[in-house]
Structure 1
Amino acid sequence: MAMRAVHKRYLREFFPAMAGYVVLIFASVYWLKTLDGTLARAVVTLLPAIPIAFVIRAMVRVIRDQDELERRIDLEAIAISGGIGCFGFFTYGLLLNAKVLAMPPAAAVAIWVFPIFMGLFGIAKCSMRLYYRSHE
């Protein structure tokens, strides 16, 4: 099956942004070790967020430009992954509040929200594709 133009464009936008993210995450971690000022540390630590904004932009554009079934699959996958991710972090927070689990540093939790959401989105999207293929 040939790749549609909308998906080719998505890959042209996604991969450079992710490459930029990888470079900037390693560079910012290294660079932070040499900085003292709060403003400089804030700017350097936020640099990897810039390419992630371009990833989000690419995702929005591909969803907007897909056909109706592809859009439905993606939006259902977003709803499922958002619901599962929010429920997971909510229950984790309840367990932390009850001191059932050891309290990690806040950054150790916050840094995982987006990657977990994206991983759940990938799983949900594959599941939704299989569901709609079996119900054609």
Structure 2
Amino acid sequence: MRAVHKRYLREFFPAMAGYVVLIFASVYWLRTLDGTVARTAVTLLPAIPIAFVLRAMIRVIRDQDELERRIDLEAIAIAGGLGGFGFFSYGLLLNAKVLEAPTAASVAIWVFPILMGLFGVAKCGIRLYYRSHE
């Protein structure tokens, strides 16, 4: 494993551990809070470690070689396209009342995880493609 990827893992795992702790803590803590400012601050606490995850991702992409950067660019383009198309199609189905409408929060909370999940799947597929075409 190259140094750039080791650094990424050193930055990624502590940030994700912080996210897991803060998501559970904030959900628990919100039950006891009143007031918009306090609830807003506690609700957004888990976003802080996610910002560090994004920082780690940006740094690793910036410091990779050209092929790795190309793979990541193609993967994020595919993930963004598929995710956007999926949410657009879902919105059309909701608008046509084909599906029962969920709350806005239950849809919004899934946008980023779906984007990152699709990025991971697309990256694996693109890597396999480039390995088979060497």
Using structure 2 for the length normalisation, give the TM-score. Answer: 0.99
Alignment partner for residue 83 of structure 1, among 81, 84, 90?
Answer: 81
Aligned to 2:70: 72
Where do 4+ consecutive residues of structure 1 move more than 2 Å?
none
Choose from 20, 23, 39 the match for 1:22: 20
> Match of 1:109?
107
Aligned positions of 1:90-101 closer than 5 A: 90-101=88-99
CA RMSD of aligned residues (A): 0.4
CA distance in 1, matches of 2:108, 2:74: 24
TM superposition shift of 1:112: 0.4
**Do structure 1's residue 63 and structure 2's residue 79 form an aligned pair?**
no
1:12 is aligned to 10
1:97-136 superposed Cα distances (whole Å, 9 cap, x missing partner): 1111000011100000011111100100000000000111
Residues of 1 paired with 2:59 and 2:24: CA distance? 28
Shift of 1:70: 0.4
Distance 2:51 2:88 in 1: 25
CA deviation vs aligned residue, 1:41-68 (integer Å, no higher than 9, x gap): 0000000000000000000000000000
TM-score, length basis structure 1: 0.98
Query: What is the Cα deviation at residue 22 of structure 1?
Result: 0.1
**Residue type of the partner of 1:14?**
F
User: Which ranges of structure 1 fall in alignment gaps of 5 or more residues?
Assistant: none
Q: CA offset at residue 24 of structure 1?
A: 0.2
* Unpaired runs of at least 5, structure 2: none
Rounded to whole Å, the distance in 1 between the matches of 2:3 and 2:41 is 36
Question: Aligned to 2:117, what secondary structure does the other structure show?
Answer: helix
User: How many matched pairs?
Assistant: 134
